[in-house]
Amino acid sequence: MKKKWLVGGASALVVVLGSAGAWYGAKAGSKPEAKKDGKPEVALEFAAREVVQPAMARLPSVVEFSGPLVAPGTALVRAKTAGTLLALDVAEGSRVKAGQALGRVDLAELSSRVSERSANVESARATLAQAERTHASNERLAAQQFISPIALET
């Protein structure tokens, strides 16, 4: 009895597989189905020269190249003024945020330049005030005809 069931099941399986194979073969031989955009679907075909068999190989431990090696997202940082760097608060390669203090610069030289230029401005103002007083005095003397107006022009 088991033998009959086994032979019958095997026969049924062969018939089902044969029908499926015939149906698939008929469908494969028909026109390719069109996609939604209206173009037919094309099967990929490769020539023998386009197919490469994988082979085991060692990867090099050193990669040689020419040109500068620059990491993406980097920036060159420059100080807006000259001076001696007193402290550097970040390490090279650290991530920083906009506005973050990176270090401290000695501003003694800058302060001395500012003081010197402020003194020059005050000196120029004093010279201007003296020249204005002299000019006003000369105008009064010229109005009294104590000095000639020609002397004012020279």
| Number of domains making up the chain | 1
Tens digit of each residue's pLDDT (9 = 90 or more) over 122-133: 999 999 999 999
CA nearest to 90, candidates 110, 70, 109, 75:
75
CA nearest to 138, candidates 126, 147, 128:
147
7 within a domain of the structure (yes/no): no
4 within a domain of the structure (yes/no): no
Query: What is the pLDDT, as a whole number, of residue 119?
Result: 96
* % of the chain at pLDDT higher than 70: 72
Residue with the larger pLDDT of the pair 69 and 106: 106
Q: CA 52: distance to chain centroid? A: 39
114 within a domain of the structure (yes/no): yes
116 within a domain of the structure (yes/no): yes
Range of the domain at 153: 109-154
- The Cα 23–Cα 2 span in angstroms is 32
Tens digit of each residue's pLDDT (9 = 90 or more) over 66-96: 888 777 777 777 777 778 888 988 888 788 8
pLDDT at 145 over 80: yes
61 within a domain of the structure (yes/no): no
Residue with the larger pLDDT of the pair 49 and 34: 49
Q: What is the pTM of this model?
A: 0.37
> How many C-alpha atoms does 81 have within 13 Å on its Cβ side?
13
The first and second tokens of residue 95, run together, are 């991530």
Query: What is the pLDDT, as a whole number, of residue 78?
Result: 78
Query: What is the pLDDT, as a whole number, of residue 67?
Result: 85
